[in-house]
Structure 1
Amino acid sequence: MAEEEDGHTKDPVPDVVGDGKRRFRVERTRHLGSGHFGDVYEGVQLSTGKPVAVKLEHRSGSIARKEWEVMRALSGEGAPNVYYTGVAGRYYVMVMDLLGPTLQKILETRPSRRLPWDVVSKIGQLCVHLLRTVHSKGYVHGDVKPENFLCAYEEGVPPYQADPTKGLYMIDLGLASKYRDSSRPNGHIAYGQRIDHFSGTVRYASLNAHLGRWLSRRDDMESLCYMLLYLHNGSLPWQGFCGDDKNMLVCEHKGKLPPDEICKGAPECMQYFLAYVRSMKFEEEPDYEYLLMLLDPTKGLVEIHRLLAEDRAIGDVSSANGALEAEDNVNNSVYDLAASGKRKRNDLDNGSQFAPNAKKHRIVIPKRYKTHQWMIVSTSAKTGNASPATQCYTSHTSYQNLVKEVEKKWSTGMRIVLLSFTAGMWTAVLNQKSTGYQEQALHYCPGADFPREWVRQKWDEGFFITALAGNATSWGVVCSTMTRNKRYKQQSYIVSPTFPSKWVADKWASGYYITSVATQGNPPHQQWAVVVSRGAPYTDQVVELDFVYPSDVIHTRWDDNYMVTCIASTSEMNAFVMSRGLTFGEEQRCTRTSHGPLHKVREDWNDNLYVTALAWGRVA
């Protein structure tokens, strides 16, 4: 008889699967659990009576064959042995070793719903070895969580008596992906990202997964960190979010919390674990030995403190905290520790090829302070089409003074191309030539409500939004009429409490591109405004979100001929809009400074670079 699930008819579970001597009875009343894409039942091999697990995935799915491929590559190393893969009715079937309870089930049997650190640290070490095995086969697990790590099967042993420190196995590899690519010089897949892409489980996903980036080895290790914290503390700080924005809300919470808050209640070594895995580059191989050392209660933090103390005694390090507070060092402090001492790397971009070994580890000291700076993007147009004959940067302590100066510049033919109301300043950048803007209107709107009626009126008059700004208490909007050859065909916008990734992706699919973006408000009530336009001079566009300045990502995009066309930042998150088109030059520079932007802007002008994007945001 067909079963009912969520109001839909479900195909009946087969009684027997397999062929020839490999035939297995499915114990349909012994449902072991459900994964992302299938159900698992207890079964028995008919010829031997051996207990097995039978995983069924409906053939409308596309994950089963991918999981079979990974399981075959592992050949029972760190994962259950597979005895049969095939098809039964409308199901894909995989028969494998019957295993014991999951880590999640074990946790649920504990009255405190917590595991002691001596147990968690051993689990962590076992998981590092398991993930190292998966990585050695060229795959990323992609869904590290307590439900996907199981104990060995022991007949008659209930979950509350199971000992996870005796050994663990990985399951549910349907989300695993290849990170190796033999066609590329470094043997690693190319960096990729799609703003509406997500893979994994929200609770344990890495920041990169939330931000739509292709997964690599670093992401398995970050998810492992969250899993271990969950097992020890019984919960994670971002549990409880719900609704359509759950993914982004969890992402924002993970990104804004420093390591000491995320790891609260756990040994300090976990802060070093998290700081290290978050500092890894896309193609970087994890230093498994370093992570194992951190998880070893007899070494861990003691060993780190010993190595740092030795360096201080030599005179190479005066103060770890001092390194963190230096203005120019906006990343986590990074040290290569070895018997011969330390080499400090301020620029993590140079560390992607560093190959750690048993005698040298890259230690990342957890950062306890956030750094905010101006980010100034300047562009050179070799063709001259986008280069203004003159550019003006004007910044004031009041909106009234800004308006007076802007009106003077308008009278000389200059037009606003950028607007910024952040860091206590009211700033505009105006160009003399080739903006494509004719008449302009600047509107100030106090309060959190976006000036919808004013914008609608301007649209009716033939204007388009060409610049946006926001601060804690107001919005600023510039609307312009445009020359015929540069006029937008249509425009739309959204105001959202989180970055509207899905909305943007849908608009891209309809031929729109982001032409303005801004943020407004104070935490926790900040909001994004994103303007998209048809007829913008772009052929492709991406949005890179991050909680720091993503130097390696920006350079990768530059190498792919993308240019930064907009930036906006909340107090925690940055959005870099990067576009490909026909009107941009061959050179772009992104400068960061803690002081007012003008001195950097002048340096760029001297190099024939013109400001194209500006924001005050978190860089570390």
Structure 2
Amino acid sequence: MFGSYRIDRLIGKGSYGQVYLVNDIGTPDYFALKVEHNESARNSLTNEINELEQLQESPYFPKLVTHGILFNSQYYIMELLGSSVAAMRSELDTKRFSRYTTLFIVTEMLKCIKVLHQKGFIHRDIKPSNFLLRPGKNNPICLIDFGLSVSYIDPSTNEHLPFRNDIGFVGSKRYASVNAHERNQLSRRDDMLSWFYSCVELYTGDLPWSNTNVSETIYNLKKNINPPELCSGMPSEFTEIYRRIRDLRYEDCPPYDYILRLLVNLLNNSRKSSQVLDWEYFSDERIALISAVQLNEKEDQEQNYGICRI
């Protein structure tokens, strides 16, 4: 039990907390409960809550229901979402999404990032496991996990924060930008580079540095790889997208709309062969093994996201 909620099971965990599937007792409604691991995680969870409160008008982020402190642990409760993009890819026999599904996902991921940046924040840990699936095709991707996220706007001047170096590594080694490896202050361009590395992995099934966990090796591969090599096996548009992102300066606003136009054109061309997302072929039983909610909603099926109390 957690307040007026019955804890069903653990559905996720990370360095700062655990996520549980919970039922609002006396109702059919289910939610996700995130609880801090310990006192040292409190600042991270507080940061997540503060940021989520400022993102509630957008459908690209989870709906925050309530938050507080219970049993001396900080928590928040949000809408229940499905599996991550990374977990869904791992469930596929080929470990790769179809062309249409990949283009659909990376387009929606970029829309999330664009809105986050427009709200004045950078995420600093963009990767497939931080995007969760929502049932249906209306706003089907949500960006989560804002423990490392910060504002890139100086509140005293309302201008972009000045560049700094030697701030320490932030992010995940596989997807972090060269700037992150060099311990430089991150900006919007670095979220975009992490998004692009995610695109490469989702489209090709791998990254050139996937087989090593040595930071220096990963850094050298990222720093020295040329665009055609990184984008091998991908549509030529991705080489152009990578060049545009790579050439961004610290304070530059990324060309979101230009990139989205390229992706939408690719997506429209892919629709000629299939408009079915890969998980829509899965049975309800298979979905239930990897997702806390059914992703393939039937017309007469209604998800229970009711009013939550603590």
Equivalence map 1:310-459=2 (5 Å) = none
Q: For 1:60-81, what per-residue CA distance to the aligned partner results, in whole angstroms no more than 9, with x for missing partners?
A: 2221101111100101521111
Q: Does the 8 Å contact 1:51/1:98 carry over to 2?
A: yes
Q: Does 1:234 align with 2:205?
A: yes
Mark the CA change 1:103 to 1:298 in structure 2 (over 3 Å): closer, same or farther.
Answer: closer
Q: Give the match for residue 153 of structure 2.
A: 180
Letter of the structure 2 residue corresponding to residue 73 of structure 1: Q
Q: For 1:269-316, what per-residue CA distance to the aligned partner results, in whole angstroms no more than 9, with x for missing partners?
A: 11111111111111111111111022224499xxxxxxxxxxxxxxxx
Mark the CA change 1:126 to 1:49 in structure 2 (over 3 Å): closer, same or farther.
Answer: same
**Sequence identity of aligned pairs in percent?**
30
State the distance in 2 between where 1:208 and 1:130 align: 22
Three-state SS of the structure 1 residue aligned to 2:40 is coil
Q: For 1:104-141, what per-residue CA distance to the aligned partner results, in whole angstroms no more than 9, with x for missing partners?
A: 11101111100122221121221121111111111001
State the distance in 2 between where 1:93 and 1:229 align: 35
Q: Give the match for residue 225 of structure 2.
A: 257
State the distance in 2 between where 1:32 and 1:299 align: 32
State the distance in 1 between where 2:220 and 2:138 align: 34
Q: Give the match for residue 286 of structure 2.
A: none
Q: Does the 8 Å contact 1:118/1:297 carry over to 2?
A: no
State the distance in 2 between where 1:145 and 1:42 align: 23
* Structure 2 residues not aligned, in runs of 5+: 269-310
Shift of 1:91: 2.5
Q: Does 1:120 align with 2:102?
A: yes
State the distance in 2 between where 1:261 and 1:50 align: 48
Letter of the structure 2 residue corresponding to residue 60 of structure 1: S
State the distance in 2 between where 1:267 and 1:296 align: 13
Q: Does the 8 Å contact 1:35/1:172 carry over to 2?
A: no
Q: Does 1:16 align with 2:6?
A: no
Q: Does 1:190 align with 2:162?
A: yes
Q: How many residues align?
A: 266
Three-state SS of the structure 1 residue aligned to 2:65 is strand
Letter of the structure 2 residue corresponding to residue 119 of structure 1: T
Q: Give the match for residue 563 of structure 1.
A: none
Letter of the structure 2 residue corresponding to residue 267 of structure 1: P
Letter of the structure 1 residue corresponding to residue 140 of structure 2: G
Match of 1:45 among 8, 24, 28: 24
Q: Does the 8 Å contact 1:84/1:95 carry over to 2?
A: yes
Greater relative contact order (Cα < 8 A, sep 6+): 2
Three-state SS of the structure 1 residue aligned to 2:202 is helix
Q: Does 1:224 align with 2:202?
A: no
State the distance in 2 between where 1:170 and 1:299 align: 21
Letter of the structure 2 residue corresponding to residue 190 of structure 1: P
Q: Give the match for residue 73 of structure 1.
A: 54
Q: Does the 8 Å contact 2:103/2:266 carry over to 1?
A: no
Mark the CA change 1:47 to 1:284 in structure 2 (over 3 Å): closer, same or farther.
Answer: farther
Three-state SS of the structure 2 residue aligned to 1:16 is coil
Equivalence map 1:460-475=2 (5 Å) = none
Q: Does 1:135 align with 2:117?
A: yes
Letter of the structure 2 residue corresponding to residue 223 of structure 1: S
Match of 1:54 among 22, 33, 52: 33
Shift of 1:89: 2.4
State the distance in 2 between where 1:173 and 1:47 align: 31
State the distance in 2 between where 1:133 and 1:229 align: 22
State the distance in 1 between where 2:78 and 2:195 align: 24
Shift of 1:31: 1.6
Shift of 1:35: 2.8
Cα RMSD, aligned residues only: 2.1
Shift of 1:149: 0.6
Shift of 1:87: 1.8
Three-state SS of the structure 1 residue aligned to 2:211 is coil
Q: For 1:406-427, what per-residue CA distance to the aligned partner results, in whole angstroms no more than 9, with x for missing partners?
A: xxxxxxxxxxxxxxxxxxxxxx
Q: Give the match for residue 181 of structure 2.
A: 210
State the distance in 2 between where 1:165 and 1:203 align: 30
Three-state SS of the structure 2 residue aligned to 1:96 is strand
Normalised by the size of structure 2, how large is the TM-score?
0.80
Mark the CA change 1:232 to 1:284 in structure 2 (over 3 Å): closer, same or farther.
Answer: same
Three-state SS of the structure 2 residue aligned to 1:296 is helix
Q: Does the 8 Å contact 2:62/2:78 carry over to 1?
A: yes
Shift of 1:178: 0.6
Q: Does the 8 Å contact 2:116/2:122 carry over to 1?
A: yes
Mark the CA change 1:169 to 1:221 in structure 2 (over 3 Å): closer, same or farther.
Answer: same
State the distance in 2 between where 1:299 and 1:54 align: 35
* Structure with the larger strand share: 1
Letter of the structure 2 residue corresponding to residue 230 of structure 1: E
State the distance in 2 between where 1:143 and 1:299 align: 26
Normalised by the size of structure 1, how large is the TM-score?
0.41
Shift of 1:228: 1.2
Choose 41-50 or 143-152, whichever is displaced more: 41-50
State the distance in 2 between where 1:182 and 1:283 align: 16
Q: Does the 8 Å contact 1:150/1:171 carry over to 2?
A: yes
State the distance in 1 between where 2:80 and 2:44 align: 21
Three-state SS of the structure 2 residue aligned to 1:199 is coil
Mark the CA change 1:96 to 1:166 in structure 2 (over 3 Å): closer, same or farther.
Answer: closer
Shift of 1:90: 4.3
Q: Give the match for residue 284 of structure 2.
A: none
Mark the CA change 1:285 to 1:47 in structure 2 (over 3 Å): closer, same or farther.
Answer: farther
Mark the CA change 1:164 to 1:258 in structure 2 (over 3 Å): closer, same or farther.
Answer: farther
State the distance in 2 between where 1:112 and 1:276 align: 31
State the distance in 2 between where 1:146 and 1:129 align: 14
Q: Does the 8 Å contact 1:123/1:165 carry over to 2?
A: no
Q: Does 1:170 align with 2:156?
A: no
State the distance in 1 between where 2:252 and 2:90 align: 35
Q: For 1:363-401, what per-residue CA distance to the aligned partner results, in whole angstroms no more than 9, with x for missing partners?
A: xxxxxxxxxxxxxxxxxxxxxxxxxxxxxxxxxxxxxxx
State the distance in 2 between where 1:215 and 1:283 align: 10
**Higher Cα radius of gyration:** 1
Three-state SS of the structure 2 residue aligned to 1:214 is coil
Mark the CA change 1:276 to 1:125 in structure 2 (over 3 Å): closer, same or farther.
Answer: same
Q: Give the match for residue 133 of structure 2.
A: 151
Q: Does the 8 Å contact 1:53/1:95 carry over to 2?
A: yes
